[in-house]
Amino acid sequence: MSSTSFTFSETVSLEFRGTGVDKGVGLGRAGEIVTPHGVIATPAFIPVGTKATVKSVLPESMKDLGAQAILANAYHLYLQPGPEIVDEAGGVGSFMNWSGPTFTDSGGFQVLSLGVGFKKVIAMDTETFRSDEVIAEGKDRLAHVDDDGVTFKSHLDGQMHRFTPEVSMQVQHQLGADIIFAFDECTTLHNTRSYQERSLERTRLWAKRCLVEHGRLTMERSHRPYQALFGVLQGAQYEDLRRKAAQDLSALDEDGISFDGFGLGGALNKAELGTIVGWMTEELPRNKPRHLLGIGEPDDLFTGVENGADTFDCVAPSRQARTSAVFTEDGRVNLTNARYARAFNPIDANCDCYTCANYTAAYVSHLFRAKEMSAATLATIHNERFIVRLVERMRQSIIDGNFFEFKEDFLGRFYSAKSPA
């Protein structure tokens, strides 16, 4: 099989180098994203440190387990401690003692999911109801969208705040991550087709405003390391809208400022995830990285990689770890299950993480039952390593030309009927 590599440096300050392409992985590719704080070998899973910390785990441990970058959340850091404090600390990486690359998301998803309370990936029949005023049961509407921005109520103290594309850029420049995202309207799959069309145009106009403000801030803050801006593609489950979003945002150029990469956003129906990601990546320039927002389940990661996504983030590995749910090659298991009381072996025999090297499943199981804080730490280290390593292995399999064999082996075992999860 031929191994074509490509190097692009069209983007002034963020470089994406592709290797291991044309290896028969469909749209999938292996590459490297060069940032001011280091190189990210892709595909890569980027662990989430929502409030500038991966809950219960120190940055030193995240580095040891192979995390190449950390993604923090602009909405949360805007509310607490406030972007000016993070700016004074020298940016989110310096603030949290993480020397590697960082991402922040725009806050759009958090702000808008306050409004409707829907999850990112849903596995349900969305044809059953569709309306523009639908709210998940038990949720108050805390956000209101208009053409200029979003007004929302803080989940911390109930105070009203307003995000616009300009505010999101200002906040993300103060937070100082290497890769930041344009402010977008994240719709749900329950909105009507006509609403999705109007929303997509709104997101396109917001993307233009983000580029203008990003250009201005980049000049004004030229003493700071360059921050790469990714445009976020919406369009729900509609092929024409997804392709249009990719074409529109890759064509945008505001006085020489264009997007350095792209976020593949929006609510995604699990069954159509690969198809939808493929529509977008087919339209996007090959020399720019694509980040699939909020995806972290093993099967979804394979689907994302083979359809051309380069990086991923998700809170699931750490969130699940804190509820004692851990990954093994035979599926997800719960450590509080009685059968782990005397499991004097690692959580996963083939895992190379710190927890599996030093502690037994029985001990971590005990810590969970005893409600000890170290339970969350040890389980999170394991889960984050499991997912980071899974995507590392996908990368290697692309380079080795055996991606689909690896996918079949891994998923066949992980989701087998024998799986105790």
Binding site for Zn ion (CB under 5 A): 351, 353, 355-356, 382
**C-alpha–C-alpha distance, residues 211 and 24, integer Å:** 35
Task: From the candidates 184, 300, 310, 313, give the one annotated as an active-site residue.
Answer: 313
Specify the DSSP element, H or E, that contains 6: strand 4-7
Residue 167 or 388 with smaller CB distance to Zn ion: 388
Of 258, 109, 248, 250, residue with least CA distance to 188 = 109
**C-alpha–C-alpha distance, residues 298 and 315, integer Å:** 13
Residue 200 or 390 with smaller CB distance to Zn ion: 390
A 10 A CB-CB count for 346 gives 20
Least distance from C-beta 115 to Zn ion, angstroms? 38
Least distance from C-beta 378 to Zn ion, angstroms? 9
Tokens of 176: 């100082």
Least distance from C-beta 284 to Zn ion, angstroms? 35
Please indicate whether residue 299 is annotated as part of the active site: no
Residue 249 or 361 with smaller CB distance to Zn ion: 361
- Pairing assessment for the beta strands 261-264 and 290-292 based on DSSP bridges: parallel
**C-alpha–C-alpha distance, residues 293 and 215, integer Å:** 24
A 10 A CB-CB count for 234 gives 26
Of 53, 121, 55, 62, residue with least CA distance to 296 = 121
Residue 32 or 392 with smaller CB distance to Zn ion: 392
Is residue 59 reached through a cis peptide bond, with omega within 30 degrees of 0 on the bond before it?
no
Residue 173 or 382 with smaller CB distance to Zn ion: 382
Of 74, 285, 91, residue with least CA distance to 181 = 74
Task: From the candidates 87, 105, 178, 248, give the one annotated as an active-site residue.
Answer: 105
Which residues are designated catalytic?
105, 313
